[in-house]
Structure 1
């Protein structure tokens, strides 16, 4: 969008209630698990189980859900993602109504990291893996990697919001985004 162009004020529904509910419930689960990792074992475990259940729900919804919720709508091949990242660096990235290629890749990485963290956390509670150092190390590495991905995700949301003059946090609350303009990708 040109620097002097005014964005459209007409809004369209993009994110359904399942996607929005999943997103904010996963945020709450992750924050709760992170903050209770050394203080409240029961709360930490339940936050992890909740996160795991949310991921399973999102995987199902990514196949059966509304159009913008489906993985087929936003999961792109690595070349497309790299091209989009290059366009970001040069300041020429297109605005997408759904997830852009980098955002789609981030969704997959966050789901994988959350799944790994939940799985290794659960393994630590089983008789077979309780106290096993490599499982504890894998859980810690997964959780810290997930935190790093979350920080990159927040940075990407902030950058896209600024570049496209669109509050993506509000869009994830209301489900609405500015309708597609001619140069945008629906």
Structure 2
């Protein structure tokens, strides 16, 4: 069942003004930790993708990126109201209707993810899985050059989706007169009290952050070498060749 709350922007002026007086919790802490960690890992991996000197950092961020994607899939099944996939699986006609309202500068308001944002999320999770699997295969020298090209192509496609997503956030923030970026930091948005979630799940969010930071420490200190797959001998030889050049 779709649990997102919608109101037409033009006709619901009075109700929106009343909601603005009340701030409710929409995004739990695990969702917010995931969002910013996922964005940081993708940005960092993109910036280090062409550097042999920073390959270890690129691989570390790639592993983290993959682990975060797995967490988000699980949290999408058992998380809070607006984090669950069930709350933002929209039929195609609702996506078309939302896009038309957006072009008319009168977009429908969704307390949770809107249909366009939902498409971006599913696309990024799908591409994230493809990026992680093709990147791991490349790291292990499996599949040859075509897998490396697939890895780069998937990453480029995801970058394009991320840029469109950011543009959509800016446009929606301006049209709805609410700061969506700030909401993803605080977890709060204007809304009726009954629409908010009860629990922020701070323990789960803190555990997720500790797991990310702990993995980074283990990777950088070498403690993770005992249980992480190591690069193939061919990949190591290629890296040494590039370093010599």
Q: How high is the TM-score relative to the length of structure 2?
A: 0.69
Q: Counterpart in 2 of 1:78?
A: 92
Q: Counterpart in 2 of 1:24?
A: 36
Q: CA deviation at 1:2?
A: 4.8
Q: Deviations over 1:75-118 (max 9, x none)?
A: 21222212211221112321100001111111101111111111
Secondary structure of the 1:12 match is strand
Secondary structure of the 2:109 match is coil
Instruction: Please give the alpha-carbon distance, in whole angstroms, between the structure 1 residues aligned to 2:148 and 2:92.
Output: 31
Q: Are 2:190 and 1:178 equivalent residues in the alignment?
A: yes
Equivalent of 1:156 in 164, 168, 175: 168
Cα root mean square deviation, aligned: 2.0
Q: Are 2:117 and 1:103 equivalent residues in the alignment?
A: yes
Structure 2 unpaired stretches of 5+: 1-8, 196-245
Q: Counterpart in 2 of 1:147?
A: 159
Aligned length: 180
Equivalent of 1:10 in 22, 36, 40: 22
CA contact (8 A) 2:22 2:192 kept: no
Secondary structure of the 1:171 match is helix
Q: How high is the TM-score relative to the length of structure 1?
A: 0.91
Q: Are 2:133 and 1:119 equivalent residues in the alignment?
A: yes
Structure 1 unpaired stretches of 5+: none
Instruction: Please give the alpha-carbon distance, in whole angstroms, between the structure 2 residues aligned to 1:128 and 1:160.
Output: 43
Secondary structure of the 2:82 match is helix
Structure 1 moving runs of 4+ over 6 Å = 3-6
Secondary structure of the 1:32 match is helix
Instruction: Please give the alpha-carbon distance, in whole angstroms, between the structure 2 residues aligned to 1:95 and 1:156.
Output: 13
